[in-house]
Structure 1
Amino acid sequence: MNDTSTPIVSVKPVVLPAPGRGEDLRVRVSAPVTGRDLPVIVFSHGHGWSMDGYAPLADFWAAHGFVVVQPTHLDSRRLGLPADDPRTPEIWRLRVQDLKRAIDGLDALEAAVPGLAGRVDHGRIAVAGHSWGAQSAGMLLGARVLDADGVPGADMSDPRVKAGVLLAAAGLGDDLSPFAAEHLPFMRPSFAGMTTPALVVAGDQDRSALTTRGPDWFTDAYFHSPGSKSLLTLPGGEHSLGGIPGYEVAETTDESPARVALVQRLSLAYLRGVLCSEDTAWKEAAAALEADPQALGRLQSK
């Protein structure tokens, strides 16, 4: 892969059968029109979104050599699932299954995009997600949900996933607000088993009603997980991290194209480093950020 962007093609919806889900899984696939041995990013959207969101990231990654797979989860506003639907308490678990189903269905997804067949490297897969999607993606990296007694639930990690990018990921459940503790019991992650390499991105002005803590809550996935991890902290960044869901949308309260561009560049360099053994790209991006006195982010690694 090189640093030159290329035209992309997107196909939607590609429908994957999903027995027992109540709805077949609808997916958007974006890919560069040229290149071979293309690595894959499976992206999990935030609450209420769909395969049509996050164009600032999806289009950028695709234009720089990745196949980007965006499933639409059951909490999407376009599906209108009522709160009393029997699936609602299990959506967090169904989200993880959606991501696994997308990986399972890579052959079908590849075949649905004109000219893509035979150009995808099924051995280089990453997951990424924003907000609730970051928790969903983190489960494939080895995070687990604790029950009321603090006992870790099922291990839903996936050995096919080699790297992750967690954007505004919820922190430890011991710090949930009373509302979140009552209504969102699945938001009790343990990162102790999240060993897969990951880049965690957090805004230092991301204040959430779901936690009794401040913005540092969104850095827990970095500080409480073992193994190779990096943390990108964005000064002034709120929950949309400058506009990664999209510009001029209600969720973007801190619109900053420059901040989004930094997330684009650093996530791309990170994934190239881990998936494609392009360590130089990551080291150069990290060094440039450290050397810039007006940098829009702070980077640390372990």
Structure 2
Amino acid sequence: MFKRVAKLGLLVSSAFWLSISCQTKPARSAERIFASFLSFEQSVSVKSLETFAETGRITGDFIPYARYISPEQRPFLQNALQQKLAISPVALSQFLYSDIGELMVQRVARVIRPKSNHGGFYALRGALIVAAADPEGLTVLNFLKHYPIQGLKIDLSEGLAVFSQIRGLIRQTNTLIQVLENQSPASPIASSTGSALTQQGQYSWQKTTLTLSDQSATRQGLTGQSRQFPVDIYLPQTAAPKPIVVISHGLNSNRNSYAYLAEHLASHGFVVVMPEHIGSNTNQLQALMLGRVKDVTQPIEFLDRPLDVRFILDELERLATADPMFQGQLNLEQVGVIGQSFGGYTALAVAGATINFGQLQQDCGSRLKDTINISLILQCQALKLPQQRYKLADPRVKGVIAINPVDSSVLGETLSQIQTPVMLVSGSADKVSPSLLEQATPFTWLTTTDKYFVLMQGGTHFSTIAVDPSSESEAQPESQKLSGPSPDAAKSYLSVLSLAFMKQHIAEEMEYQSYLSPEFVATLRQGKLKLNLTQTLSTHEILNPR
């Protein structure tokens, strides 16, 4: 997913945290805010909140609320009130009018709504857009000032229900962490050989960019259209045929997101291919913000992305015989795929999982309006596809790594169909595709013999993504906070584990098995970002702790 949308969700959730409601003057400027729970109401003035936001002082009718806010929480609340989302009103409008944007607003509108209970969705969306156009920018306070309906309230009972869901998920995630900690060795076994995995390898490499044009009958039959997209190929300078790794980026990201990983693997003798999924990349987001497209992505991307990977492998087979640069360089019998977020879905789909329309119908009905799992909103878009069994797997793929994948509903228990080695990489602080829902539980559905679950404690949805220095939004310090603690450590962990996995299961160098163990992973821990690995996990011990 993309960081601006994540920031928008965090900003709006700040309004949840306040657990309040507001009433506007005829001039459409909020004057007081009312806490509403069942038949009980209390109010606080916006002026008191503004004073607190600007100075940190608690004054006037905000004083009674102070006893519910600990000293540790006050800086967070003060920052939440001031937090500004740097986004143009046009760009925000385009997103909020998309299918995914509308679903997010509908979720918020169940808590923040007019006292009349009429027009809440449209008022909420309008206030966000108008606040973004204000010179002060889009903040929680500015949003409240621009709410256009007399008498807005935030329903505490609904808000507490959301909070209860979040608290339950946090509690279960903490139990997951404790289960993994209990499995960790008391005394990590250091390995001098393993340290080489963290270093660049012995091979130099050449980067080549190609534009592929897929007009195949397979693509035409499934999607009804052709597809042209660029790929970067990292080719190690060795004489022998080399194993291949395809890296699939996430939604509204691009092929530069994991260039550091491509360089690391290429230096150790892998041919790495980085496709640009043109229907769900950064350009797609920019087109949405400019009004050239109507949504963050189209449902057809659930087919196009795996088809991109399959066509890449077809083209590599052709280039291996037709292009002198690639002749004798490619081992198509040894292919691995790595993907993040939507790319994680892509990797699992080409490995053998199939779109699970039955699970989607179950999860995307009434349950969708209550979900705290943002990734489910994306997954439910697949229901707009013609419902049939799509054959997206590629037998040339011998193993996959899925980082923060979105898979619990769109693939569901069809993950049991995967027979190749799988590694799921998760972050305990992932608010986009929550660890417990999207990785830990799906891990238990895998039946393949060689499976690994990796948890970065404190890792987020963005921890392993490289910051693009050319992107203004990525360069903002507040956006970088979304990467969580020690993003450099997260990238290092991923580089080491990806290399060990690909060496063991793709290149078939069996001496690397010891590096896919809790004992070795314990030696990698550094800084604030702890790391765990297991091959056995039961949802029973997570959901029913002793």
- Shorter chain as denominator, the TM-score bin is 0.7 to 0.9
Q: What secondary structure, in the 3-state scheme, does the structure 2 residue paired with 1:105 have?
A: helix
User: Aligned partners of 2:317 and 2:530: how far apart in 1?
Assistant: 39
Find 1:216's aligned residue among 436, 440, 443: 436
Tell me whether 22-31 or 247-256 shows the greater mean CA deviation: 247-256
2:237 aligned with 1:33, yes or no? yes
User: Aligned partners of 1:201 and 1:25: how far apart in 2?
Assistant: 27
Q: State the TM-score, normalizing by the size of structure 2.
A: 0.47
Q: CA deviation at 1:106?
A: 0.6
Q: For this pair of structures, how many residues does the alignment match? A: 283
Q: Which residue of 2 aligns with 1:301?
A: 535
Q: CA deviation at 1:53?
A: 2.8
2:484 aligned with 1:263, yes or no? no
User: Aligned partners of 2:405 and 2:266: how far apart in 1?
Assistant: 23
User: Aligned partners of 1:274 and 1:31: how far apart in 2?
Assistant: 20
Q: CA deviation at 1:291?
A: 5.4
Contact 2:525 2:531 in 1 (8 A): no
Q: Which residue of 2 aligns with 1:67?
A: 271
Tell me whether 104-113 or 36-45 shows the greater mean CA deviation: 104-113
User: Aligned partners of 1:133 and 1:284: how far apart in 2?
Assistant: 25
Contact 1:172 1:188 in 2 (8 A): yes
Structure 1 residues 272 and 221: alpha-carbon distance in aligned structure 2, compared to 1, 3 A threshold: farther
Q: CA deviation at 1:103?
A: 0.9
User: Aligned partners of 2:530 and 2:389: how far apart in 1?
Assistant: 38
Q: Which residue of 1 aligns with 2:426?
A: 202
Q: CA deviation at 1:5?
A: 3.5
Contact 1:57 1:244 in 2 (8 A): no
**Structure 1: which amino acid aligns with 2:418?**
M
2:457 aligned with 1:226, yes or no? no
User: Aligned partners of 1:292 and 1:60: how far apart in 2?
Assistant: 17
Structure 1 residues 38 and 12: alpha-carbon distance in aligned structure 2, compared to 1, 3 A threshold: same
Contact 1:262 1:296 in 2 (8 A): no
Tell me whether 289-298 or 264-273 shows the greater mean CA deviation: 289-298
User: Aligned partners of 1:64 and 1:137: how far apart in 2?
Assistant: 22
Contact 2:524 2:531 in 1 (8 A): no
Q: Which residue of 1 aligns with 2:401?
A: 165
User: Aligned partners of 1:121 and 1:299: how far apart in 2?
Assistant: 29
Find 1:289's aligned residue among 500, 503, 521: 521
Write out aligned runs for 1:76-95 (5 A): 76-78=281-283, 80=287, 82-84=292-294, 88-95=298-305
Q: CA deviation at 1:57?
A: 1.2
Q: Which residue of 2 aligns with 1:132?
A: 342
Q: CA deviation at 1:259?
A: 1.9
2:267 aligned with 1:47, yes or no? no
User: Aligned partners of 2:321 and 2:252: how far apart in 1?
Assistant: 28
CA-atom RMSD in angstroms: 2.9
**Structure 1: which amino acid aligns with 2:520?**
A
**Structure 2: which amino acid aligns with 1:195?**
Q
Q: Determine what percentage of the aligned residue pairs are the same residue.
A: 22
Structure 1 residues 112 and 266: alpha-carbon distance in aligned structure 2, compared to 1, 3 A threshold: farther
Tell me whether 20-29 or 41-50 shows the greater mean CA deviation: 20-29
Q: Which residue of 1 aligns with 2:356?
A: 146
Q: CA deviation at 1:133?
A: 0.5
Q: What secondary structure, in the 3-state scheme, does the structure 2 residue paired with 1:226 have?
A: coil
User: Aligned partners of 2:267 and 2:501: how far apart in 1?
Assistant: 16
- Structure 1, gaps ≥5 residues long: 174-185
Structure 1 residues 192 and 83: alpha-carbon distance in aligned structure 2, compared to 1, 3 A threshold: farther
Structure (1 or 2) with the greater strand fraction: 1
Q: State the TM-score, normalizing by the size of structure 1.
A: 0.82
Q: Which residue of 2 aligns with 1:15?
A: 212
**Structure 2: which amino acid aligns with 1:301?**
Q
Q: Which residue of 2 aligns with 1:180?
A: none
Q: Which residue of 1 aligns with 2:464?
A: 243
User: Aligned partners of 2:294 and 2:515: how far apart in 1?
Assistant: 50
Deviations 1:37-66 (A, max 9, x none): 210011211012233331121111111111
Structure 1 residues 54 and 113: alpha-carbon distance in aligned structure 2, compared to 1, 3 A threshold: farther
Deviations 1:58-106 (A, max 9, x none): 1111111111111211222335475448x92211111111111111111
**Structure 1: which amino acid aligns with 2:535?**
S
Contact 1:14 1:109 in 2 (8 A): no
- Structure 2, gaps ≥5 residues long: 1-195, 363-386, 537-546
Q: CA deviation at 1:253?
A: 2.0
User: Aligned partners of 1:28 and 1:112: how far apart in 2?
Assistant: 18
User: Aligned partners of 2:214 and 2:390: how far apart in 1?
Assistant: 24
Contact 2:464 2:494 in 1 (8 A): no
User: Aligned partners of 1:96 and 1:70: how far apart in 2?
Assistant: 13
User: Aligned partners of 1:112 and 1:63: how far apart in 2?
Assistant: 25
**Structure 1: which amino acid aligns with 2:447?**
P
Q: CA deviation at 1:190?
A: 3.0
Q: What secondary structure, in the 3-state scheme, does the structure 1 residue paired with 2:494 have?
A: helix
Deviations 1:219-270 (A, max 9, x none): 2342211112111111111012x33344663576225212211111111101
Structure (1 or 2) with the greater helix fraction: 2
**Structure 2: which amino acid aligns with 1:270?**
F
Q: CA deviation at 1:11?
A: 0.8
Tell me whether 19-28 or 36-45 shows the greater mean CA deviation: 19-28
In our comparison, the structure showing a higher alpha carbon Rg is 2
Tell me whether 198-207 or 76-85 shows the greater mean CA deviation: 76-85
